[in-house]
Structure formats: C-alpha cells, structure tokens
Amino acid sequence: MKIAKNINNIAKKVLQNEADAVKNLINFIDEDFEVCVREIYNSQGRVVITGIGKSAIIANKIVATLNSTGTPSLFMHAADAIHGDLGMIQENDIVICISKSGNTPEIKVLIPLLKRTGSKLVALVSNVDSYLAQQSDFVLNATIAEEACPNNLAPTTSTTAHMALGDALAVCLLELRDFSSEDFAKFHPGGSLGKQLYLKVDDIYPNNELPIVYENTSLKEVIIVISSKRLGAAAVVNDENHLLGIVTDGDLRRCMQKDMDLGMLTAGEIMSKGPKTVSKGDFAVKALNIMQQNSISQVIVLHKDKVVGFVHIHDLLKEGII
C-alpha cells in the first residue's frame, strides 16, 4: 500500500527551496558580473549561449529573452558544436556556457575548442571551482544549496537559478541600451502584447461613424443618433466642435425613469459633463485602461480640442488587445 503524501506541503517545499536559492543569488552579483555585462554591451558581436541537457533548454530561453530586448543572440547545442556548429561563432562573439557542475565530459571537450575561436568565454555555473569556471574569462555564480528534488539529483533549483541569473543579465543590458517600450514593440509585433505597444487610437476610430449632437438637439434626435451610430453614446459639442459633454445609453435610461416631459428635453439638459477622452495619437491601450478604470464602454477621441471620433470596447476586442 502506498504511503499517503501531503501534496500541498511538497509543492510548498519545492517553491520555498527555489525561492531561497534565487534570493541568495543577490549575494553573487559582484564585479565579475558587472564587467561581464559591460563586455557584452560594448561587444561588436553576438552572444552565443551553449549547454547540454536541461542547461540547453535554459540557454534557449535566455537567448529568446536577450533577442527580444535588443541583444542579438544565438543558441548552440554543446553536443552539436563539435560536429560543425562551432562555425556559427565569430571572433567578436561572446560565448556563455551554462552548466551546473561545469565538469561534464561534453563541456570539457568543448571549452578548448571555444577558446581557439578567440571569443570571450562566460561560465554560468553552480560550481565556481569547476573546470569550466577556471577556464572562463567571466564567471556568473549560480551556486545553490541543493536541488528541490528529494534525491538532490533532478535539475530543478539549479535550472531556476540559471534562468533567473539570465534574466538579470538581460535586464541589465536592456537598461544600458535605454531599451524603450517602442523598441520592444519592434520585436513583438504579433499578438495582444504587440498591439498594446504599437496600435494607436487613430488606427481605430476612423472605422467608426461619429455620433455628435448639439446642446439644443432634442431627446428624440439624440436617441436616433445614438441608435444609428451603434456606439452607445453621442458627444455633445458646440458650433466649433468643442466637447461639452456626452449622452450615453445609461443617461437615456436614467432620464426615462424620472417624471419629466421627455418631449421638451434637449441634449444639453441630460448630458454628463467631463466625459473621458483620449487624443488621436495615444496608444489604444490607454483607451482600454480608461474604460476599465471607469467601467465605461467608450471614450471620445479629441484632436486639437475638437471631437473627431470614438473608440468602443468592442473595437479593442476586435483588435485582440483584450
């Protein structure tokens, strides 16, 4: 009969182990780390990251993070390197070799070959006394107390530490490059993330009709405008097209619930003053944030203090921002 295990306690122990290991990495951020970051920043070449087994998987992740944040990088599998892939390394490249022990046979074979290329060699290791660490120009210390695996064998905490240190490296380089959200958008044009970073209000609002009324527009005409334009609201403007207020479906419902002569009402009497607005050059995600923060379905678009359009929550859904 199997002994009952407390799954929650096991999971918490694993997470605590890994959290402690990552927190302890703070103590290993030293001058070697800083010099290594600056060497990569000033390099005319690329970053080539290599490893084997689980380290190869972590290497791929770090390469992806570096590429997406402005540092050109390549992955080279340590086993494939000695069968032709060494040809991808150029003289000005910097090679980062990831290994927990730093003493695996494949790594020991690879290191002399890497040094012949003339490239700088960086060791990202959990054993700073290893062959890899001793042969490298820079050492990124990812020492851990033990793996989260109860047998202290399966790469768990060590791979988490390596990935966290890779993130620290990438963000340091990002900061040195003054890498902005606009730069980020260039490398992430797809999906909702990309659209949040590059899609602007003026990419959206021209697709909508413009529901505008004036202060003296009758309630009946206001209802017709709101219904025909299908945006759930109409902007109230003056003769110069400057914004005075907004009439929404909600305003109409509240108005009809009151004991009032509806036939005599005008837009100016039922409008809400100070409606939420965005400028045509704003990012669409700003319009989304305003809608979410104020629990509304549309915002008015202004250009030079004049009403030029609307952005509706459905537009953002259609664009895939939400």
Share above pLDDT 90 across residues of the chain, in percent, rounded to a whole number: 80
pLDDT digits (tens, 9 = 90+) for 54-69: 999 999 999 999 998 9
Q: What is the pLDDT of residue 155?
A: 94
Please state the three-class secondary structure of the chain as a single string: CCCCCCHHHHHHHHHHHHHHHHHHHHHHCCHHHHHHHHHHHHCCCCEEEEECCHHHHHHHHHHHHHHHCCCCEEEEEHHHHCCCHHHHCCCCCEEEEEECCCCCHHHHHHHHHHHHCCCEEEEEECCCCCHHHHHCCEEEECCCCCCCCCCCCCCCHHHHHHHHHHHHHHHHHHHHCCCCHHHHHHHCCCHHHHHHHHCEHHHCHHHCCCCEEECCCEHHHHHHHHHHHCCCEEEEECCCCEEEEEEEHHHHHHHHCCCCCHHHCEHHHHCECCCCEEECCCEHHHHHHHHHHHCCCEEEEEECCEEEEEEEHHHHHHHCCC
Can you tell me the mean pLDDT for 79-103? 93
Which amino acid type is present at position 84? G
Whether the per-residue pLDDT at 25 is higher than 60: the answer is: yes
Q: How far apart are CA 161 and CA 244, in angstroms?
A: 57
pLDDT band, very low/low/confident/very high, at 185 (cuts 50, 70, 90): low
Predicted confidence at residue 5, as pLDDT, reads 80
Q: Please check the confidence at residue 41 and state whether its pLDDT lies above 70.
A: yes
Residue 64: predicted pLDDT: 95
- Residue 263, pLDDT above cutoff 70: yes
For 73-100, letters b (16+ CB in 10 Å) and e give bbbbbbbebeeebbeebeeebbbbbbbb
- Among 79-83, 203-207, 243-247, 257-261, whose mean pLDDT is lowest? 257-261
196 Rama class: left (phi>0) / alpha (psi -120 to 50) / beta: alpha
Which residues contribute to the annotated binding site for Zn(2+)? Answer: 77
Most confident of 21-30, 183-192, 249-258: 21-30
Band of the pLDDT at 3, cuts 50, 70, 90? low
Q: Judge if pTM exceeds 0.95.
A: no
Model confidence at 91, pLDDT cuts 50, 70, 90, reads confident
What is the location of CATH 3.10.580.10 in the chain? 201-319
Average model confidence (pLDDT) for the chain?
91
Which tops the pLDDT comparison, 312 or 261?
312
Backbone angles phi, psi at 88, to 5 degrees: -80, -15
pLDDT at residue 264, as a whole number? 83
Annotated binding site: 77
Amino acid 190: pLDDT: 63
Tell me the two tokens of residue 111: 């290191």
Q: Where in the chain is the domain with CATH 3.40.50.10490?
A: 7-179
Does position 156 have pLDDT exceeding 80, yes or no? yes
pLDDT beyond 90 at 199: no
Of the given ranges (3-7, 91-95, 150-154, 182-186), which has the lowest mean pLDDT? 182-186
**Which CATH number applies to 201-319?**
3.10.580.10
pLDDT for 160 equals 97
- The answer on pLDDT for 193 being more than 70 is no
Q: Look at residue 299 and tell me whether its pLDDT is greater than 90.
A: yes
CATH 3.40.50.10490 is held by the domain 7-179: yes
